[in-house]
Amino acid sequence: MATETHSRAATQRNALVVIAVIVAGAAFFWLGAILTPLALALFLMVMIDSFARVLKRVPRFPSLAALPVAIVLSIAGFVLIAFMVANNAAAFAGQLIRDGPKLNAMIAKLAGDMHLAVPPTLDQMIARLDPGSYVGKVAQGLQGFATTALFVMIYLGFLLASRQGFERKTQGLFHSDEARRDAARVFQRIRTGIERYLWVQAVACGIIAVASWAVIAALGLENAVFWAFLIFLVGYVPVIGGAIGILLPPLFALVQFDDWWHAAAMLAGLQVINFVVGNIVYPRMQGKSLNIDPLVVLLSLAFWGAIWGLPGLFLSTPLTVVAMVILAQFPGSRWIAVLLSSDGDPLEERSAAPNTDADAAHSTPAIDSAT
């Protein structure tokens, strides 16, 4: 009888967890306009804080200047990337206009291979797409992007300004030392996972972008800098980002050059770069993995992309790390965290050191300093 009661309680608890997950997903979708800039600001703050702690370890670097310097350098880096992409995007658009006849010839050849009687030209295809109907949507999208960026900066400013109050809030939320140690351990796991992902991705994407720029420039494809920045940015999108970075430059090489060997050589070079970095360099830099199942990475990409669009694609993996760690804290939802993990140990408890409690107690102040 007791076993049956326990089984029924476990079933009800699991059902409530599933319902809560569905309701949370719906809330994330409906509140996307508010939560998306907040999530982006939080991850920017984690990156800035991590950069500041790196600066503090530099010999003779003023400790008080670490955070301001990290903020200025990070914002300057983002502005520089945006400027470079916008500046090269104009040249890229001009290249498309100049290569219109070549595109028409390629379309005609493809149509001939498909036995089409009258191959459409580029102008005809654009006319059929009716770009005028999309002008309003594009304008709304640009306006939404500008609004989101503004809200991200506002959220980031308030988050950085409120960092000093986190220690008092922690003491008010957790009255016992044991509870504070548990909270510090959870936060440390989340912060470590996010920082590891962001920094390793930044270094790996940077290596791929620089090497890809060398290959693209050596083969003579126009706007090599634009392609390098694009490859760097899409590298943060799991699975599909690498495919975009490998396939798009060779496709445009087919348009620019009158032969096939440029595109074939570019495709081979980019494939080798991604293979070496993805299978040799990346695992060595990452060390311990994020402990997320590869299938979950793909599903989280689809899930967060459907909820938050493009920002969700970039944040899918860090958000899944946060969800896995939080779900592992409660008995009713731990089974979800186990399914999300790669080895069935979402909190890496088996590999944790024996003095985990002491380490967590020592790192308790990190709750306010890191966030």
DSSP string covering 122-171, please?
HHHHHHHH-THHHHHHHHHHHHHHHHHHHHHHHHHHHHHHTGGGHHHHHH
Residue (of 83, 320, 85) closest to 190 by Cα position: 320
Q: In this predicted structure, what is the pLDDT of residue 316? A: 87
110 burial via Cβ count (<10 Å: 0-12, 13-18, 19+): exposed
Q: What is the DSSP letter of 121?
A: P
The Cα–Cα gap between 316 and 310 comes to 10
The Cα–Cα gap between 205 and 266 comes to 18
Give the residue carrying structure tokens 């005609």: 108
Say if residues 159 and 41 touch (Cβ distance below 8 Å): yes
SS3 call for 292: strand
Tokens of residue 189, six digits = 């796991």
The Cα–Cα gap between 259 and 19 comes to 57
The Cα–Cα gap between 257 and 254 comes to 6
Say if residues 276 and 293 touch (Cβ distance below 8 Å): no
Residue (of 343, 38, 49) closest to 191 by Cα position: 49
Q: In this predicted structure, what is the pLDDT of residue 353? A: 47
Tokens of residue 261, six digits = 């060997």
Give the residue carrying structure tokens 């360099």: 281
SS3 call for 345: coil
SS3 call for 309: coil
The residues of the chain scoring below 70 in pLDDT are: 1-7, 10, 81-82, 84-147, 167, 171, 284-290, 347-371
244 burial via Cβ count (<10 Å: 0-12, 13-18, 19+): middle
Q: In this predicted structure, what is the pLDDT of residue 11? A: 74
**pTM value?**
0.69
Q: In this predicted structure, what is the pLDDT of residue 212? A: 92
The Cα–Cα gap between 80 and 83 comes to 5
3-state secondary structure 196-212: HHHHHHHHHHHHHHHHH
Q: In this predicted structure, what is the pLDDT of residue 146? A: 58
The Cα–Cα gap between 335 and 148 comes to 35
Say if residues 229 and 84 touch (Cβ distance below 8 Å): yes
Adjacent-strand bridge partners of 360: none
57 burial via Cβ count (<10 Å: 0-12, 13-18, 19+): exposed
The Cα–Cα gap between 141 and 164 comes to 36
Say if residues 245 and 230 touch (Cβ distance below 8 Å): yes
Give the residue carrying structure tokens 């999300």: 340
